[in-house]
Structure 1
Amino acid sequence: MKTIINKFKFCTLILLVAFSCTEIGDDPAFDTSASERSSEAVTEIKATLTEPTEGWIFEYYPHDLQIYGGYNYILSFDDNNMVDVYSERQADFSIPETSSYDILSIGGPVLTFDTYNSVMHEFSTPSAAEYQAKGGDHEFILSHTDVEDVLNARGTVSDNNLKLIKLTESPQSYLTKVKEIVDYLDGAVYIMSTDGEITQIPVSNRNITFPGEDLEEDTVVAFIYTDTGIKLYETTTINGNEVTEFTLDKDANQLISLDGSTVLDIVFPPLNTSQNWIINVIGAGEVSDTFFNTFVNIYNNNGAIYGETLSTDIEFGNTITPTGIQFYSSGYYAEYNVTFPLLFSNPELLSIARKGAGFNWQWYGHLDPLITLIVDNEPYEVEGTPADDPTVVKLTSTVDPDVWFTIRK
């Protein structure tokens, strides 16, 4: 028995020695070690990134829920681990911001922007108000796709599946085309017709909502502007058709899916409510007496309840959680969410509808009388100055002409 045990120990020792002589991660199916293969993958992906003369279009979506939508970045890599970064969010995208990058081997090639770049790190830089920033990434796991000149880039924080697309024109040329699309569609309302039924398609913060079929819930999907239209974050089923991208047809004023199955008619409402507007209650000739008196009542009630001073400037339109009407009271914001549905019978009028309590509204419900005044007296005639791109707009109720107020950008 002792001999058998000793033989067993000897065999076990031989196996352990043999295992220890083999590098962890080695696979007999490969001619090279795991570390060598990782190094080769890093070298190969760097060669891919640095090959294009003009760089790459990076379709970037921050936050794991894509609540900010998508934005176009142009990344131009060189062999010395430096990258030029352009963004459609730059006031002047003719000049890039340059910083360093690296490619790490962490279960695959990982692209990291390892020195601060205010353009590239805009959504991933924390602040006192946003300690987790805006859920953006600065490191991305890269992999090839089945499509030539397209790479996958998965955010290590958001886990969003993003795309790098080889650019074939200058960064300035591409971003200029994107800006033209953005500017053209700014404030637009989208209409979809299904079996003779017209439906408004809500858009907010580069997220678009398609109606669910039968009893299914509506589908909200982020999108990005392209040089020809818009592209959805992921393929979405609309009326039984799988749709990923729309092309803008300016002549027809339509966004048309690539397969032609889905058409969104473009309508421009009388007011661009995606912009930030201000109601100055105490400005001379800014509001009607009825509006002013209602405000005075909520101002006094707010002071009696909290001892706070309610600001006489009220935000209207694109506020904290678009869209809504927002108040400011001694350091605290409170918002009531409203929508601006297109009035099909008379699209020249501005319609306003309640959506529900917004940010901090549970503490400031006593401000509701002004919301009631505004909503209950819709729709409004819109008189803008100047007419082509107004910065001052007077809204006058068609229900009660004594209810009117002015908004300013």
Structure 2
Amino acid sequence: MKKINIFLLILLTFTIQSCLKDDEDKFPVSAAERMEQRLIENETTLLSASNGWLMKYYPQEDLKYGGYTFFVKFKDENKVDVMSERGGSEKIVESFYSLTGDNGPVLRFDTHNDLFHYFAEPKNPDGIGPADSGMQGDYEFMILEATPEKIVMKGKKTGNIIIMVPVDENVSWSEKMGTIIGTGDHFLDYIAFICSYNGNESDVSISYRTLTFSALEEGGSSQFASFIVTEDGIELHDPIKIGSVDVSSFKWITEANHFLNEETGAILTPTAPPLSVQVLSSSWYFAYSGTEGLMKQVWDVVKGAGLDPNGITLGAMYLGAVSGDYALAYIAKKPNESFAMGAFFINTEVVDGNTLMIAPTGYIGGTANEYYSKYFFKLFFQAIGGTYKLTSDDPLKPTWIRFENTEEPTIAFTLYKEFIEMPYDN
């Protein structure tokens, strides 16, 4: 019996040694060393695209703002060049990036880049999203797959999948981005479409870069689609169902002025919603030259009594959504300070297609608490109330909308689709 026990002990010892040897064969280096090796390999891949990468970026976990195209080029010394649709086809901003280990390789855009971090800043510069979280985008990404042909990442905050593909050597960033922006102009200047398919039609509304399709066929249901603009149309983040076909893209047809899905023949045609709806669906900007009668007098008084004596600069003023609520909003600054936003929140009511009622509320935000009385901005707020008849230069695609008070026609002003900087100078 004693001999048997000794034999079993010797056998067990050899078995343990064998297992340890197997483990050593499987894991010749430590976990930290393996992570370091992956980081080196990932950085080599990032640097391998000599003309950079095209990134399809989706902020916000519910995709409510849609997707945006970036060009990014990773360089030596942890530098990265960034171009975005928002910055236009000429602007490139350099900043720094890093690769770190955190349950896998993580790519971080470390230092502030006004093109990239626009989507991730707690307070969005244009007032998009909640006041404390902006567009809720990522700047840290877990790398799931990295090859010279494609990099797949996952936003650490949103969980959104972000894909990068290399930009061909002979492609100009400026030209390619310009084409994408131009295609986006065809789509994003409209706020409503009609989807036609197989003799049926559905209404399609647009918000940021998302589409909501009403039921296309009897008994059907509405569908939501988040999209990104491409050079020749739009690409949906997730397919929608048209007939029995999964549809993931629409192509812009210039001659026909519509978008076409080539697989099904479904067409998206721009339509003209009422002007009152168009006002409430976007931001519309003031210019001093667009004020008339009593409204012009209000602007003169605010400038003479509030702005000029205190060195206040009005950077912009507009009607539009601020943190999800409609407001008369502005950006302004004091001497030696940065521009900051203020908002006077308002209620609205669509009286009819071309008539809109505006009623100031008691709610204000941002710097409006100070500017309201101290710098006479309350006059802007008080003057905006009333019922207005709306007219425009083009009901389908207006560049301006004129407001005329139905009870006091001397109160009138024109708002512009294009951003107006320094409204007193325009």
What's the TM-score once normalised by structure 2's chain length? 0.64
Q: Which residue of 1 aligns with 2:111?
A: 115
- C-alpha displacement of 1:165: 2.1
| Pair 1:125 & 2:121 matched | yes
- C-alpha displacement of 1:65: 1.3
Q: Indicate the SS of the match to 2:122.
A: coil
**Structure 1 unmatched runs, 5+:** 288-313, 341-348, 362-369, 375-379
8 Å CA contact 2:202, 2:213 repeated in 1? no
Structure 2 CA distance, aligned partners of 1:258 and 1:32? Answer: 52
| Pair 1:70 & 2:67 matched | yes
2:204 to 183, 201, 204: 201
Deviates more, 1:7-16 or 1:97-106: 7-16
> Can you list the C-alpha shifts for 1:37-91, whole angstroms capped at 9, x where unaligned?
544433333222212222111111111112222111110012432111111111x
Structure 2 CA distance, aligned partners of 1:359 and 1:43? Answer: 57
Amino acid at match of 2:39: V
- C-alpha displacement of 1:224: 1.6
Structure 2 CA distance, aligned partners of 1:133 and 1:255? Answer: 31
Which structure ranks higher in relative contact order (CA pairs < 8 Å, sequence separation ≥ 6)? 2
- C-alpha displacement of 1:15: 8.1
Structure 2 CA distance, aligned partners of 1:42 and 1:339? Answer: 56
- C-alpha displacement of 1:137: 1.0
Q: Which residue of 1 aligns with 2:149?
A: 149
- C-alpha displacement of 1:284: 4.6
1:180 to 179, 182, 205: 182
Which has a greater percent of strand? 2
Q: Which residue of 2 aligns with 1:319?
A: 321
Amino acid at match of 1:166: P
Amino acid at match of 1:144: E
Q: Which residue of 1 aligns with 2:415?
A: 408
Q: Which residue of 2 aligns with 1:137?
A: 138
Structure 1 CA distance, aligned partners of 2:393 and 2:363? Answer: 32
Amino acid at match of 1:236: I
Amino acid at match of 1:174: K
| Pair 1:276 & 2:284 matched | yes
8 Å CA contact 2:120, 2:137 repeated in 1? yes
- C-alpha spacing 1:339/1:198, structure 2 compared with 1 (3 Å): farther
Structure 2 CA distance, aligned partners of 1:3 and 1:133? Answer: 76
Which has a greater percent of helix? 2
Q: Which residue of 2 aligns with 1:303?
A: none
- C-alpha spacing 1:115/1:214, structure 2 compared with 1 (3 Å): same
- C-alpha spacing 1:353/1:250, structure 2 compared with 1 (3 Å): farther
| Pair 1:245 & 2:249 matched | yes
Amino acid at match of 2:41: E
- C-alpha spacing 1:338/1:18, structure 2 compared with 1 (3 Å): farther
8 Å CA contact 1:241, 1:261 repeated in 2? no
Identity across the alignment (%): 22
Question: Aligned-residue CA RMSD in angstroms?
Answer: 4.8
- Aligned ranges 1:256-335 → 2 under 5 Å: 256-267=260-271, 273=279, 274-277=282-285, 284-285=292-293, 316=319, 318-320=320-322, 326=327, 333-335=344-346
Q: Which residue of 1 aligns with 2:423?
A: none
Q: Indicate the SS of the match to 2:322.
A: coil
1:221 to 225, 231, 236: 225
- C-alpha displacement of 1:122: 1.9
Structure 2 CA distance, aligned partners of 1:384 and 1:394? Answer: 12
8 Å CA contact 2:149, 2:166 repeated in 1? yes
Structure 1 CA distance, aligned partners of 2:138 and 2:2? Answer: 62
- C-alpha displacement of 1:13: 9.1
Q: Which residue of 1 aligns with 2:98?
A: 102
- C-alpha spacing 1:121/1:285, structure 2 compared with 1 (3 Å): same
- C-alpha displacement of 1:157: 0.5
Structure 2 CA distance, aligned partners of 1:68 and 1:76? Answer: 25
**Structure 2 unmatched runs, 5+:** 125-129, 296-316, 330-341, 365-383, 417-426
- C-alpha displacement of 1:215: 5.3
Q: Which residue of 2 aligns with 1:382?
A: 391
How many pairs align?
A: 347
8 Å CA contact 1:72, 1:88 repeated in 2? yes
Q: Indicate the SS of the match to 2:119.
A: coil
8 Å CA contact 2:392, 2:398 repeated in 1? no
Deviates more, 1:262-271 or 1:248-257: 262-271
8 Å CA contact 1:278, 1:407 repeated in 2? yes
Amino acid at match of 2:42: I
Structure 2 CA distance, aligned partners of 1:191 and 1:339? Answer: 22
- C-alpha spacing 1:264/1:286, structure 2 compared with 1 (3 Å): farther
- C-alpha displacement of 1:115: 2.5
- C-alpha spacing 1:269/1:332, structure 2 compared with 1 (3 Å): closer
8 Å CA contact 1:62, 1:68 repeated in 2? yes
Deviates more, 1:156-165 or 1:259-268: 259-268
Structure 1 CA distance, aligned partners of 2:238 and 2:25? Answer: 36
Q: Which residue of 2 aligns with 1:164?
A: 164
- C-alpha displacement of 1:214: 5.3
Q: Which residue of 1 aligns with 2:46?
A: 49
- C-alpha displacement of 1:180: 1.1
Amino acid at match of 1:408: L
8 Å CA contact 2:59, 2:119 repeated in 1? yes
Deviates more, 1:13-22 or 1:217-226: 13-22
